Amino acid sequence: MRGFHFVLPCLLVPTVCFAEPFTVASWNIANLGAPGSELRGFDRDANDYTRIREIISSIDADVIAFQEIGSVAALEAVLPDGYSFRFETRCYENAQKCAADADDIYNAIAIRDTFAHRFFQIDELAVPHQNECGAPARPVRGGVGVDLSVDGRRYLVPSIHLKATCKNNSVEPGTEDDCATQREQVRRLRAWMDAQDDEATIILAGDFNRQLLEGADNIRAEFFPNVPQGHILPGAETRACWSSFAFDFARLGEEAMANNPQFEAEGLRPWLYTPRSSAEIDFFVVENLAEGVTLTADQIELTGDYVFRDPGAALTRCDGSLQPFADGKVLTFAEAYPSDHCPIVMTVSE
């Protein structure tokens, strides 16, 4: 049974003993492939890797959860010196043994070398996903984490990336399979959390693809009922990802219509995806925090580029026709660099 707090002696391993705060960060870097490769439509030049590495260096976190990384080579290209890392099991089992990109994306976790630690896997989160078109089932993202102790307190920090297209209680037509997979992932995550030792503080870090700050969210209410508002971070007041970027929706809409004749033929209009929609789905969810330990968190707004590389590329049904929302608009895609997500950072202190 979870909920009790014990102080572990500093002699236990893995342990780091000091009174300084420690920091945890998380960043979905959006289809980060190895230098010289293109991963799921994203290609990057040398400046991109330099920029991403500088961002990670400036964050200077002790533990960093990563999402949407294509391979060990991709992470090594942006991770500063002084960290050890591990990928989720799926990556090590792919055709490239995780060394090079294999047209898929994975979770990873990194920790500063000065921290004694143990890596762990949550393979059960790699739920087999069967889409509505009947394609062969494939496993979605599993979890990978780090087990460490700071000031005699044990922390379990997994990197999480849940199934997309189901951000709130509304289930749009064509996303029923995604919502079912996301719910199953969270059910298995909850079971993993309940199986951990009572003394461990759990810090879930990553892309939940869910608007957990909404009090009425049924995922939050059902699976995290005992997590207080202040332990689902960062708060709304600190979220400014892409807020200052100017989007010319009229021009982008015209471009999408011109490049995809299906819109006019089917009497539909494009709904332009923007990275602002990713400002509300990356979280730290902290459970079983010891008395006297405080949390502060922020979302780091980045300057970036918005590339409408394939104007008119839109969400379709299995038969190739456009898949509209109830208002007759169809999600139309673009790319954001260095990512459509902004990093989140949390400080744990006494």
Tell how far CA 84 is from the center of its chain. 20
Q: Which residues pair with 154 in a beta bridge?
A: 149
Average pLDDT over residues 156-174: 89
- Determine contact, residues 129/142, Cβ cutoff 8 Å: no
168-199 pLDDT, tens digit per residue, is 898 877 778 899 999 999 999 999 999 999 99
Average pLDDT over residues 148-172: 92
250-296 pLDDT, tens digit per residue, is 888 898 899 899 999 999 999 887 777 778 999 999 999 999 999 99
- Determine contact, residues 124/104, Cβ cutoff 8 Å: no
Candidate CATH numbers 3.10.20.30, 3.40.50.720, 3.40.50.12780, 3.60.10.10; the one for domain 22-243+275-310+341-349: 3.60.10.10
96, two tokens? 């490239």
Residue 338 CA to residue 270 CA, distance in Å, equals: 24
Average pLDDT over residues 214-220: 92
- Give me the chain's average pLDDT, please: 89
What φ, ψ does residue 64 adopt, rounded to 5°? -130, 120
Q: What is the pTM of this model?
A: 0.90
Residue 282 CA to residue 111 CA, distance in Å, equals: 19
- Determine contact, residues 204/344, Cβ cutoff 8 Å: no
What are the helix (H) ranges across the chain? Answer: 46-59, 72-76, 89-92, 176-194, 218-223, 249-259, 262-265
pLDDT of residue 2: 41
Collapsing DSSP states into helix, strand and coil, what is residue 86?
strand
Q: Which residues contact 278 (CB under 8 A, 6 or more apart)?
A: 28, 241, 242, 340, 341, 342
